[in-house]
Amino acid sequence: MAGAVETQLTARTALGRELRNLRLEYSLTTEDVAVELGCHSTLVSRIETGKRACQPDDFETLMRLYRVKGSELTRLRALLKRGISRKPPWYAPYRDVVSSAYAEFIDFETAATKVREYQTVLPPGLTQTEAVAEVLTSVGSSVLSPDQVEVLVEVRMRRQRRIQAAPLLACEFVITEAVLRFQIGGPETWLAQLKHMRALCDLEHVDLRVVPFAAGANATQTGSYSVFEFAGEDDPDVAFVETVMGSVRKDGPTELRRLNRLFARIQAAALPPEASADLIDRIIVEGPL
């Protein structure tokens, strides 16, 4: 599934990865490069991880240091330009409420072509109805004003456009049966949520599976997390692991291999898509308890 939108952050991250590979190719340390740039090695590390934009002057110094020329130099300059573009992201009007960590998550989600998400208790954000999103956002923080809650719910609904319109985001959701049984927002609100998730099961690009209670320990190996996949063959996955303090980005090769293997095991323990849809249907009829 192609056509996802590159963001300033993903362009910056891609350039940082290229710069790191070039540094390693020349067997240089971040300290070596820092001397050439006249900065601290920490800045070099932040540029290579995409957490800090590479400035044009520093970029040209690095290109000379790594002896990059011709078409490769042209390609990397284009990447630099996209990484420092002043074009605001779609969530710019909400910046007073969207935290930097949430903005990072949205940037990678916007650029992704596929998401693999495991949720133990709550419906995945991309599957939540507006009413359920409002309830969860309200109880998630006691310091948010009603206006801030409204804005965050609007952001979540805007994110969901990727499920319904191009560029479509391929989704593999695995949830525990507990997600279907926890009643959020009252009977009518929760019934609407279950029906919404059931409708998503019928979309060709959505694979939603439920780990039944009978699966036991297979659904208790980890907490909730998401892994984003991108169009480029050389673009590594990026994961976000949920904690009580918010989502934490994980992009180390070892961490990603472990999370992807774990997702495959949990997905294998889940009911197939058709049986998962049947379970949702049954709970809609019988009630969540």
Same domain, 22 and 75: yes
Map residue 167 onto helix, strand or coil: coil
Based on the domain organization, do 61 and 133 belong to the same domain? no
Cα dihedral across residues 188, 193, 196, 201: positive or negative: negative
Residues 58 and 144 in one domain: no
Domain count, the chain: 2
pTM score of the predicted model = 0.89
Whether 113 and 141 map to the same domain: the answer is yes
Rg (CA), the chain: 21
Q: pLDDT tens digits for 80-101?
A: 999 998 889 999 999 999 999 9
Q: Please indicate, yes or no, whether residues 232 and 163 belong to a single structural domain of this protein.
A: yes
Look at residues 83, 118, 144 and tell me which one is the last residue of a structural domain.
83
The kind and range of the H/E element at 229 are strand 225-229
Do 21 and 118 lie in one domain? The reply is no
- Whether residue 34 is contained in a domain is answered as yes
pLDDT tens-place values along the chain, 289 residues long: 445 678 999 999 999 999 999 999 999 999 999 999 999 999 999 999 998 999 999 999 999 999 999 999 999 999 999 999 888 999 999 999 999 999 999 999 999 999 999 999 999 999 999 999 999 999 866 678 999 999 999 999 999 999 999 899 999 999 999 999 999 999 999 999 999 999 999 999 999 999 999 987 766 778 999 999 998 878 899 999 998 878 899 999 999 999 999 999 999 999 999 999 999 999 999 987 7
